Structures are given as C-alpha cells and as structure tokens.
A and B are shown apart, each in its own frame.
Chain A
C-alpha cells in the first residue's frame, strides 16, 4: 500500500486493519507479514491463486485462527480474537462457501442464534418479538424472505442473503457496524442471484464494510473499490480499482518465476506416437463435448478454475463417474461400464485429490493400503489364501523402489508424512501395473521436497510409457510438468497449449483462457 492511499484510508476511517500478520502451520508459512486495510463503507476485493493464503487470512480476521504475530485493528482499536464469537461482538461476520446456517430451524432463529438473551422474559423466548425484529432486519435490507419459514426450504442464494441479514442483525443488538467477509459467495449462485447479491452489496455498503473473495476477476473489478492481491502467503499489493484491468490482475497474482529445474523439464522427453487414451465426453451441467487424447509417455495437463469441470473430467477418466454422453477408450478399447473396476481392468490408476479421504486408509498399514487393489495377484493355493510372503515382498519392493520413508510395512499410513502417503497411493497402482494414471492435484498439501520427489516419479513413469492426466490448481506445476495443456472453462475446452521444454506457455496466457 502506498503512502497516499494509506493517508486516504485513515481519513475515511478504516473499519478493519491488519498489521504485519503472520501465521505458520508446521513447515508451511500460510501468511507472511500481511497488512491490509478495509476502509469504512468500502468493498475490498481479495484475489490470489488457490493456496495463496486467502482462506487463512479470512480465518484470522474472523477469529477461527489466532495469528502467530501481528495485530488486528477494528475502528482504530486493537483487538485479539480467540474464537469466532469474539469477532462477532465487533461486527465481523463471514458468509462462507459452505454455509453456516442450521437448516432445521426457522430463519429468524438462525438470524439471532446465540444472541437470544435480549429476547428473554422470565426464562422464556419471546418468539413474536424475535420474528418482528428479524422481519425488520430483512425489510431494511430489502431482502424478501419470510422470517418464520424453515431455513432448509430456501434456495442456496436465499440462504446466503440470510447469512448477510444475520450479520446486520448484530448491529441491532450491539453498537457495531458490520464488517462482512464474503468468501467466494458467487461460486454456487445463478447469474440472477449474483446480480441480486451485488445490488444488495451496493445498497448496504452505506452501513457496512465488505471484504470480497472471488476467483472471478470480472466480478471483483465490477464490485470492489480496492483490491488486495495475495501471492505465496504475502499481500503483494493493495490498489484502488480505477485503472486496473483483468490482465493487470493476472500479472499480479501469477507471474512467479517457474523453476525449470524443480519440474525436471530437462527430463521431459517427446511422447510416442501411439494414442493410449481417447476420450470424448459430456456431462450435463459440468462438461460439454470435451474431447482429448493422451499418448504413450505423455503428461496431459488440465487447467481450469474451481467449477470448470476439471475434477469431473478426472473422475470420468478414472471411471468413478459416468458421462451422460460419449466414451472413454483405453488402448483402443472403450470402457464397457463406467466404474472404477472396469477402468482398473483397463489399467487406469487414480490418485485422488483428498489423500486421507480417498487415497489411503490412515488406520491401515502401508502393506494393506498398497496391496488393496492387488490382492488378486497375491492369492495362492486352492483355497485362494493371500500369500503373506508375497504380500510382504510386493510391499518391500515398492517401498524401496519409490523410497517410501516408513518405519516398516506394518506402520499405519496415517503416521507417514503427506509425501510418503502420496507415494503409497502411486505404489498401489504401479504394483498393479497400470498404463494410465489420473492425477488430481498430486502435490496438494505437500512441502517443497515431497513435491519434488513426486515430480521426479512422474517423469520416471512418463519415460516408462505411462499416459498421465494431470489436473492441478498449481499453474507452475501444470505448465512445468505437462507435454500439452488443455484449458477448461465452464465445462468447455477454451484453449489448448503445447508445452515442450523449450517453449512452455506463459502463466498469464493460461490464466486468460481459464477466466
């Protein structure tokens, strides 16, 4: 933030200010010296890639996370929150992507949840007064919702409006002006609902201040007065919106130096001519005529923002979701049924994004995890008993081959580091002998070193002739690792890039095709 803007902010009075806030989780630095200001009655946009630190920042402001250092100021006074209920007393309210309302109670109860004391008389709640008060709040905001209806009966967009009303209701109980954090509020809304929300924000900004987080840069530019850009856990700029366009924002939030060494780009060999995977699929509301091929030894990168359909595409190729139309062919054979079983039979391995939910069973041993899809090949004798020696040998072989750091094959997977858990997921498919691998964000949550060894492993597999589909939110990774890149936007292919070692596309070009 420049001197001039800082002066201006003080003049208008800042609703919220963060000064040099830092937060570290283990080895990961989630926020480094972040400072930002939300001037009173302004809308500030917060932009940045996934993992840039936006979510942690929101959590620090609303009191879910206590920062390691730095200070938070509200209306000029220093505050320290140990719990979300404390930030609420200062008017801070968060409207989450996953909503925080209880669906089984009426709207008015949600609006005053936890703050009913004012409406108690002789130990009983005065329901009539609660409803009247909630109705007044909603009317003030021009939100057309009946306070006595069940919250669960409302649409997603309506519930979001209730969350905002809840924030304003606070100022009827405490003498505070709301500071409302909108965390990706539009990602699940229809265009009409988005317009309604934006109209509302424009109307309500006279009596509240907003922080607006969104992937959609057009929305940020149209709604906000100022923009804070985050990259690699730092707030790199706070700028007035006037005179900025989307490509300026792209430059701000990406434009990081990509380290060719890190992604082993020198080891990227041209793929063979043979096409191993051929897909042409559609899925209502998610994918429209997406057609692609992957050759032997090729890494195909899929880029796209949240909701672009890239995860659905990964699941369809892996067989765990069926397309409405189209087919997936592996080595010339179309999948007869769209099930994981069938895909595995054709040699498709799947490394899902959520490692501990979908990749490994944390309470089971490395050996049990690694052999889970491979029990068939370990069955011996007439009784088809699983060979103890065979199972042990298979596990040892792959633990050594992938250098999985574990005290032993019997150690529970949950006790390994994230990178080693991920290697176990790879190992179970390599042990099966797959020729195609679907990787959904394989570097998620891993530290720099662990990511590096996963990248080296991907290069090895590619040299051995595997066809790899790589879905990732991490653009440098996607560009560095892939032979070719397909960009999805709203379920359609919006661009294709060749990415040979000497001619990698620029991040900004890829981002432009994404949004």
Chain B
C-alpha cells in the first residue's frame, strides 16, 4: 500500500526518445512550486505598475532591494532550519539583540568589533537552540519560542527600551553606499549570501545532509549521517546568518533598536513557505526563498506606493500568505492537518 506505481517506467538505457516519459505529472507539480511565486511576482508587478507607473522604475527597484535585504538574510537563516524539518521562532529576536549589543560594542571598541561581536552572538544563540533541541529533546518550536522571549527581554533590559545610536558612520557607510553598479552594498551582501548558501545547499555534504535530515531522518541515520551534529550545525549556521542580518540592519538604520526584529519572524517564515520550501523539511532551498522574499517585498512596497493604509496592508498580507500556502503546500507530506 505504500508503493506508488508509475506506469511505463523505463530504464535510462532503454529510453527511446519521443515516447511519453513517466513522472511528467510529478515533474510539473514540482515545477509548479517555482512557477507559482514567479507568477505571483509577475502579477504584482503588473498590477502595481498599472495603478502607479512609478512602481516600475530603477529607483523603486533599489528601494525594494533595500527594504527586503535584511528580510532575505533572515529568511535564508530560517530556510536552513526549516529544511531539516525544524523551525526557528527566535530569528527576529536574535536580530534585535545583535543590534543592541552590536551597536554598544561598536561605540566602545569600533565598528569591526561591533560586527564581529554581533555575528558571534547570533552563532552562540543558534548553538544554544541546537543544543537544547538535541540534548534535552525539546521540540524546536518550543525551544525557540522560549528563546524569543528571553532574547527580547535581554535586549530591552540592556537598552532600557531606548535605541542605541551608532556614533561612527563607518558601518552605515559600508552597508548603505554603492560600490558596484550603483546598487547599495546591503543588496549585494544579501544576494551573495543567497548565492553562497545555494551552492552550499546543493553542492556540499553539509547541504545535502540537511535535505536528508528533513526528508527522512531514519534514512539519513541508516546512511551514516551524524544526525545530532548536523542538527546542531544547522542551528549554528542559522544563528550566524541572523547575526549578520542584525549587523546589517544596525548599519542600515544607524542604530540598534529594541523593536528592530519585530516583523521579521512572520515575514521570514511566510517567505520561506511561499518560495516553496516545505515546512515538513527536505524540499526547497535558499534560491526558492529569494522568490518568496520578493513576493512579500513587492506586496509591501506596492501597497506603500499605491497608498494603501498600514492596517489594510496587514490584512492583505495575511490573506496572501494563507492563499499562497494553500496553493503550494504538498499535502501528501502531511498525514493530517492539525
């Protein structure tokens, strides 16, 4: 009963050109996962351009890039964790904490120290998340939910609810200036990380083991994959990238603020899932997340440009997320929907 029969399967050696190949339907279903976000992007661009022609301009494109670079970084971090079938609810709070501590450190010891400390904090939070998950066997949902609360508390405690302004402009200049083709560095940073992670995901043992963990942990264990070590590594990688996102965001706004990471959690999970990475793990990838982030960014920017008020924006965004997920989710992977 667990067997799925596909009619007319042929071995590679025997395959004759011209004959209909089996699995076509399956492949189309897989292609659908990429096509849907692309179609959504096209539809959004067409609609918003029709309402306000300024939407489709180089300036606005750079705007969208600037607005979504940090979200892209955070969503990439989330992708890694979702690929192994876990979830990280602490991503936004890591960004906040890194902003507060990173800005303080930058003001005392220089921008480089601030950046290094920020990224290091991200990595350490990831390590703790991963350790709690693998050692105490607490589900990632609960570990990171607790961590979200703890980190927000720490950030507020340290900052006393106030923003910490960067005294030196070096970090801000590094992030906001454009060294290449007039495109702000922050966009390049996010794109380079996307590219690197995509290569890591598909061309390295680490990446492939992440997919295997999410696709079938028992199969992976039987193939000799050290499960615990790789789960831990996934959370550390995710935390590190969140740390980077925190540093970049601090540079972008010129300050660490206690509310910086607030909206990032929901947007990042929405972007990952809309891109086509399954919440059950094992399917998708960082390149897909780029598409998901674009959908969210275009939607937000487009509504700004067409002067939709903020409360309506929230409602529309929520509806789009539910619709998108209902179209892309692979129900075969869920025994039941709870």
Interface-side segment among B41-49, B158-166, B217-225, B250-258: B217-225
Q: Is the CB of B222 within 8 A of A359?
A: yes
Q: Tell me whether B2 and A408 are in contact (CB under 8 A).
A: no
Cα A60 to Cα B15 with chains together (Å): 42
**Out of B5, B12, B21, B223, which one reaches A417, CB within 8 Å?**
B5
A314 to chain B, nearest CB (A): 12
Docked pose: A403 CA to B10 CA in angstroms? 10
A399–B12 touching, CB < 8 Å: yes
Is the Cβ of A384 less than 8 Å from the Cβ of B216? no
**A407 lies within 8 A of B222 (CB):** no
| A355, CB-defined interface residue at 8 Å | yes
Given contacts A361-B282, A364-B212, contact A350 B219 (CB under 8 A): no
A138 within 8 A of partner (CB): no
Residues of A within 8 A of B6 (CB): 407, 415-417
Q: Does A356 contact B (CB under 8 A)?
A: yes
Q: Which of these binds chain A: B170-178, B201-209, B298-306?
A: B201-209
Q: Is the CB of B208 within 8 A of A412?
A: no
CB atoms of A407 and B9 under 8 A apart: yes
Question: With A400-B12, A417-B5, A418-B3 as given contacts, are A320 and B223 in contact (CB-CB < 8 Å)?
Answer: no
A: contact size bracket: 35 or more
Encode contact with A along B1-39: 1 for CB under 8 Å, 0 otherwise: 111111001111101000001110010000000000000
Q: With a CB–CB cut-off of 8 A, which chain B residues contact A358?
A: 216, 218-219, 222
Report if B146 contacts A (CB, 8 A): no
CA of A364 to CA of B282, assembled, Å: 8
* Contact assessment for B204 and A361 in the assembled complex, using a CB-CB cutoff below 8 Å: no
The answer to whether A400 and B218 touch (CB under 8 A), given A364-B212, A407-B23, A412-B26, is no
Query: Beyond A320-B222, A406-B11, is A445–B3 a contact (Cβ under 8 Å)?
Result: yes
Task: Choose, from A40-48, A271-279, A369-377, the stretch at the interface.
Answer: A369-377
Complex Cα spacing A339 to B227, Å: 12
Q: Mark A354-388, 1 if CB is under 8 A from B, else 0.
A: 01111111111000110111011001000011101
Whole-angstrom distance between the alpha carbons of A359 and B3 in the complex? 13
| A486 interfacial contact with B, CB 8 Å | no
Interface residue from A340, A384, A405, A411 paired with B223 (Cβ < 8 Å):
A340
Cα A34 to Cα B42 in complex, Å, equals 60
* Cβ-based interface call for B120 (8 A): no
Q: Give per-residue flags for B80-104: 1 if the beta carbon is below 8 A from chain A beta carbons, else 0.
A: 0000000000000000000000000
- Pick from A372, A407, A412, A415: contact of B220, CB under 8 Å: A372
Contacts of A415 in B (CB 8 A): 4, 6, 22-23, 26
- Give A residues with C-beta under 8 Å from B: 25-26, 318, 320, 339-341, 343-344, 350, 352, 355-364, 368-369, 371-373, 375-376, 379, 384-386, 388, 396, 399-400, 403-409, 411-412, 414-418, 420-421, 428, 445
A-B contact pairs, 5 of them (CB 8 A): A352-B222, A361-B219, A373-B224, A386-B204, A407-B9
